[in-house]
Structure 1
Amino acid sequence: MKQTLPILIVLLQGLTGCQEEKNETTIQGKITGNIPDIMEYTIPVDGINYFGFEDAVPVNSSGHFQIKVNTDQLCFIELSHGYEFYGTVVAEPGANYTVSVNTEHTDNPIEIEGKDKKGQELYNQLHNRSMLKGHFEEEAGKYRKDTVATRIEQSIRKSEEAEIAPFRELFENKEISQDFYQLVKTDREYFYKGVQGSVGFVNFLFSERQQNALSKDAYTKLWGAVFQSHPVSDLRLLKSPWFYHYAELYLRYNDLIKESTSTETLSELHKQGAIHTHNIENAKKYLSGKQLEYYIAAYLYYQAINKNYEKELISLFDKFKEEYPHSEYSHFIEPEIIPVIGFHKKKNDPLDKNIKFLEGTDNINSLKDAAKELKGKKIYIDVWATWCGPCKKEFKHSAELYEALTSRDVTILYISLDKDEKAEQWKDMVNYYNLKGYHIRANEKLWASLRDLRGSDTFSIPWYILADEDGQVLRKYAGSPSDLEKLKKQLEEN
């Protein structure tokens, strides 16, 4: 879901005014292996780090780049390109760092020379150091079947202590600064408190299907306890990359547990196109000041990059700009709201004549049934859903895909896995992306047929299939639109 933002190198310059004077931190870098054209990096706004609030600098042909950031406090700066995360610099105001990134070393590609070198190395070895590597749920999954809350809490505390202890040793040996140690210590404390809260939240979700391992009383206490010992109001938390998700857990606790908002109510708000308004109003009840401004900004950005194009986001962003007219976050959100505006303008345009929605879909229960409707041609099948970010990313290649397939007398069938409540959005999205070909929204029997076809393999989308004129599968896993050469080769072989 992460997207490359425009290069806005001077974004924070000229904003000193009555603020404290900021110091320029410099990162000299060299990247080897697969060299990207740009290096993206998070911009710490008042020391706050979030994966979506970022800038980029060019990388030259030999892999060199230079980053300059103005900051008045120690902060995290994460380096990445697209979906690929390289590592984190714990940056001190006015300091200089030399960074080496080897994209072929996927486990830990970054080396950092400069202030607090040993601490930098240690921090970048942590498994869950970045939002791009997964949320609290990844770590919380270890406790999915544990039935004893006190044992869960003790185990999480041991994991936390095991991560902090080496940093404490470096600090005691004067190999890292006190500020470095305190920042990393706070980051890891709040990460593991987030894990504990997430265990409670996951049990709440499973309780809807009576599959929770902990009792309601146990998971409620486990979840709520984290905010008593480590409150969201603690300004130190803002500096952690985990603040957004920690605050989200806190707001969910208040909404679902304290206020007893039912999942049926939330589902109805989704259908009415009012869920984001509800969530932001809930945030305004429990957050204030910098935390509230940051949370709303991060929330709007996070929802916009999902490319679900909810119209509600447009008015909410307008309201954000009214309430925070000088917010530095608006620069990052606006590029993601513009496509939402474009979507709602485009959806009223007439459909392209080559976009066809199949009728009588209640009786299309298999690929063989679908093939009967497609004029006896070989079929390229794209299994997708409106909520699937990677699916929509592939649509930018749809024009080339359509040309390549139709020139070979192959027809395209898009099978959506969206539920009934998404039917209108599904059709609007087909129009917006101009997906020429045939379209169907899978009923339960077709869904089951696709799951059977997948067999023991993990079911994930996007999924591309080649089938013959009768719906018999030729290629269970065909090339994607972004890998058109592979697909062309498969077509030739079949």
Structure 2
Amino acid sequence: MRVLFIVFLLFQYCFSQNVSIKLKFENVQDSIPILISKSINENPAYFQKDTDTIYTKNNSAVLNFATISAGYLYFSVSRANPGINILYEPNDNIVLNVSKNDNNKYHIHYGGKSSSILIPINQDTIYKYQLLNRKFSPIITNAKTKEEVFNFCLQEYDKELNRINELHDKNKITEEIYKVSILNLQAIALFNFNSIIEDNFRRERYKETKLTEDDFLWILNQNIDFLYPNEEEYEKFSSLTSLLNLSNIARIYKESKRNEKINISNLWEQDSYLNYLPLKYQENYAAYLFLVDALKEEELLQFKKTFPKSKYSSYIEHKIDDKKAIKYQPFDFGYYINGKFEIKTHLKSENISNLIKENFRGKPVFVDLWASYCGPCFQEFSYSEKLFEFFMKHKIEMLYINIDSEKNIKKWYPNIKGSNLEGNHFFASDKIQQSLQELLNEPNGVYIPRYLLFNEKGELVLPSTKKPSEAEELYQQILNALNKV
């Protein structure tokens, strides 16, 4: 048995090849951290979030790793780069020249043997949630039948698939990249289509349409049947969207009362929708939940019992040990910059007005209220880098106030680091709700994301600003309110 194991390792080693990805910049500081989400090992199917970190030095940053086949990785937004999606294959050498134009917008020149695929996966509408939402939501609102909505999904998918096919037919991408390009397209299309549909459904916008609740479930299921890869394909490819798809698909299966096989892993309650997933999928998704602190350490024992040969187990244990080294308390107040988080003090009050006046005397402050459970908050975080640059230019303080319950404080720092939220941070906990309700005169509760602006006297001048994604409109609103125009 030991001989067979050694032979297997040698086989893996011989067939894995190095990948090198170099980012080149213009006039960026050294030691800026760039978070990367990729596989935890040489098999691209073992993708997880925030697995690696590289640092800028001499206007460049380099990632080297080994792989046995083509796969996907993601460079998170940092002070040096926008978010960048990458499809790679063994023996790849990819160069990303990152620059900014006169309007302070990023431009990336992609180099490498299959670099042609990197342009569409980073720019085309189907891969961009907000762009697709602007195009898709009016279709949902005005559709007379459920088929109209589903046909829109088919048409958008086919349009992008034709672009990939054209690149392949012209030999601009290799066969391996072609295959993972299609799997990546299926994953992102399914996630974005169904997320937009559900967003309209959850906000009860369907009441403004001619569609019923059953119509929406029908469309969601049609998209799953059309775009969800089979188990054999999933063994070859994984990404963050494919991981997130797992939970959404299982939930829709249960809501639709589909006649799907139930696979009991004892990781969840017996009536949990996650039991609709095949065991291999449950292993991957459970690993993701551990790594984002959605499963507790004591549940790792059941995970190892259910999946005794899982390649995730030692990786999860290592990450748990790393997080144990850092202990935070409710009402901690700190500052995050260049990948480092320093707790400045421990405050005794969750009163937001006192917090501003006592800690930011003579300075205007922009407040971002957020929590780990708030999906829209994280969507807006992708605009935080440009927002921070604007505040630095105009000498405005950035303050992120987390309103999670105290038991979820362990998610605070990982979320700050994962979204690269540079600025001041305060873990106020959900106890701040009463203070906020009084300040904003909203007795029924304050919803997030929510953005506030205080002037240099500590006075609330904007109780609800525009969102960071509204960029110039928000910047102008802030300058007008502070009389800085």
Instruction: Report the TM-score, using the length of structure 1 for normalisation.
Output: 0.61
2:19 paired with 1:26: yes
Give the Cα–Cα distance (whole angstroms) in 1 for the partners of residues 438 and 451 of structure 2.
Answer: 16
- What residue is the counterpart of 2:250 in the other structure? 251
Aligned counterpart, 1:205: 202
Q: Equivalent of 1:189, from 186, 191, 194? A: 186
Deviation for aligned residue 1:109: 3.6
How has the CA–CA distance of structure 1 residues 278 and 168 changed in structure 2, closer, same or farther, with 3 Å as cutoff?
A: same
Asked whether 1:219 is paired with 2:211, we answer: no
| 8 A Cα contact 1:383 1:461, kept in partner | yes
Counterparts of residues 82-231 of structure 1 (less than 5 Å):
82=78, 84-95=81-92, 97-104=93-100, 109-127=107-125, 129=127, 141=137, 143-147=139-143, 148-207=145-204, 214-231=211-228
1:313/1:462 CA distance change after superposition, 3 Å: farther
Which residue does 1:282 correspond to in 2? 273
Instruction: Decide whether the 8 Å contact of 2:23 with 2:61 is kept in 1.
Output: yes
Partner residue of 1:442?
434
Aligned to 1:43: 38
**Are 1:300 and 1:333, in contact at CA under 8 Å, matched by a contact in 2?**
yes
How far the C-alpha of 1:315 sits from its partner, in A, is 2.4
Distance apart, 1:221 and its partner CA:
1.0
How far apart, CA to CA, are the structure 1 residues paired with 2:439 and 2:137? 27
> Which residues of structure 2 form unaligned runs of 5+?
1-6, 259-266, 333-344, 382-398, 413-424, 466-481
Secondary structure in 1 matching 2:117 = helix
Instruction: Say if 1:204 and 1:212, in contact at 8 Å, map to a contact too.
Output: no
User: Are residue 384 (structure 1) and residue 365 (structure 2) matched?
Assistant: no
SS of 1:115 mapped into structure 2: coil
1:71 is matched with 67
Q: Hey, what does 2:285 align to over in structure 1?
A: 295
Query: TM-score, normalised to structure 2's length?
Result: 0.62
Once the two structures are aligned, what percentage of the paired residues are identical?
Answer: 12
Q: Deviation of residue 222 (structure 1)?
A: 0.8
Answer yes or no: is 1:465 the counterpart of 2:443.
no
Q: 1:247 to 1:75 in 2, by over 3 A?
A: same
**1:217-263 alpha-carbon deviations (Å, 9 max, x no partner):** 2111111122333445433246252211222220120233328xxxx
Task: Say if 2:454 and 2:462, in contact at 8 Å, map to a contact too.
Answer: yes
Give, in whole Å, the separation in 2 of the partners of 1:71 and 1:82. Answer: 25
Q: CA-to-partner distance for each residue in 1:111-144, whole Å, 9 max, x for gaps?
A: 33332233344444334548xx779878754545
CA contact (8 A) 1:49 1:76 kept: no
- Whole-Å Cα distance in 2 between the matches of residues 135 and 181 of structure 1? 24
Q: Structure 1 residues 82, 70: closer, same or farther in 2, change over 3 A?
A: same
Q: How far does the alpha carbon of each residue in 1:456-480 deviate from its partner, in whole angstroms, 9 at most, with x for none?
A: xx98446452475xx85478799xx
Alignment of 1:228-243 (within 5 A): 228-231=225-228, 233-237=230-234, 239-241=237-239, 242-243=241-242
Alignment partners' CA distance in 1, 2:411 and 2:119:
45
Q: CA deviation at 1:385?
A: 4.9
**CA displacement at 1:326 relative to structure 2:** 4.9
**Residue aligned with 2:95, SS:** strand
Mapped contact 1:32–1:102 kept (Cα < 8 A): yes
What secondary structure, in the 3-state scheme, does the structure 1 residue paired with 2:441 have? Answer: helix
CA distance in structure 1 between the partners assigned to 2:314 and 2:37 by the alignment? 13
Name the amino acid aligned to 2:37.
Answer: T
> In structure 1, what is the Cα distance between the partners aligned to 2:25 and 2:10?
40
Given that 2:127 and 2:189 are in contact with CA atoms closer than 8 Å, whether structure 1 keeps it comes out as no
Shift of 1:163: 1.5
- Find the partner of 1:315 among 275, 298, 308: 298
Tell me how large the CA RMSD over aligned residues is.
5.1
Q: 1:352-395: CA deviations, max 9, x gaps?
A: 9951467xxxxxxx97xx89x99xx99998673544678xx9xx
Structure 1, unpaired ranges of 5+ = 1-13, 260-275, 305-309, 359-365, 394-412, 479-490
**Quick one: which amino acid aligns to residue 189 of structure 1?**
Q
Rate the CA distance shift 1:186–1:417 in 2: closer, same or farther, 3 A: closer
Cα distance in structure 2, aligned partners of 1:53 and 1:191: 19
- Per-residue CA deviations over 1:378-430 (Å, capped at 9, x if unaligned) read 9998673544678xx9xxxxxxxxxxxxxxxxxxx998867xxx5x6599999
CA contact (8 A) 1:466 1:475 kept: no
Task: In structure 2, give the amino acid aligned to 1:249.
Answer: N
